[in-house]
Amino acid sequence: MHRSCARVTFSPQIAGTPEAMKRMLLAFVLFAAPANADPSDLRALMTGDDSRGWEAVGRLNIAGEALCTGALVSESLVLTAAHCLYDSDTGEQYPATSIEFLAGWRNGRAVAYRSVRRVVVNPEYDFLGEDTTRRVSGDVALLELDQPIRKTSVTPFEIGAWPRKGTEVGVVSYAFDRADTPSIQETCKVLGRQQGSLVMDCDVDRGSSGAPVFKLEDGRAQIVSVISAKAHAGDLPVSLGTSLGSTVDAMRASLALDDGVFTHVTAKPMPTEIQRDGGAAGSAKFLRPGG
């Protein structure tokens, strides 16, 4: 198959707060095959029926200043992008208690409202770092809620294996221009994998940071990445996703080791012998959970 070479440049309109990742205006070279099919359009999840199965995706309100997206990976843990937790003007991390998770937020109501008790940031992530590719690949955080969400309508998602180039994925997200209703893009594609980052043709914008990237596995949607930023490959708008691998396991372990109530926990890498294989998986038609 013919391979095209395009320069990927990071846009200042990063998916997250408007100024959240301005330092990412560097470029790297992406070698990616052209997509075989156009991505599907964004579709707003306007009704309860539309949203069924996606209630574990929610909006994050951060310090009254920022908007991001997150998804439950357990009754009390929300997966999101690490850069959402930092004030872009000062570089300081927002207090955990200034963050609220609105599960299934739609048309002014949420399935559940929770404050955040603690946060843990991937130890490989450096908000002020200049290594752009590394920042994207490690842009992951876990938020521990003050109370678990135990509702039959809210089912946390499992973490899946890292998808290979050509895999069809989907994204459920909020954004600054659609902050009151989640939208789903049922089909977009992994264009390439670059140094721990996914390059995709998914449609994202400010506020989509932290949005879960899903892949269908045995009829169930699993989270395989988290939206970190948007960029351009030549004239093609692309989205950039994080790697997960054993990172989420390490962050869970760090939370479990600390019994006290802290606003921030520094994750420690897991021993090599118990790291989860982050292998690749093939493509599949993307469907709603249970659909």
pLDDT at 137 over 70: yes
Q: What is the pTM of this model?
A: 0.80
Note the pLDDT tens digit of each residue in 54-107: 999 999 999 998 999 999 999 999 999 999 999 988 999 999 999 999 999 999
In this predicted model, what pLDDT tens digit does every residue of 4-60 receive, in sequence order?
A: 333 344 333 343 333 333 333 223 333 344 445 789 999 999 999 999 999 999 999
CATH number for the segment(s) 4-266: 2.40.10.10
Reported as a single tens digit per residue, the pLDDT across 12-26 is 334 333 333 333 322
Q: Taking a C-beta distance cutoff of 8 angstroms, is the pair 136, 167 a contact?
A: no
Pairing state of beta strands 197-200 and 141-145? unpaired
CA distance 223 to 160: 6
Using CA atoms, how far apart are residues 65 and 229, in angstroms rounded to an integer?
18
Is the per-residue pLDDT at 175 higher than 80? yes
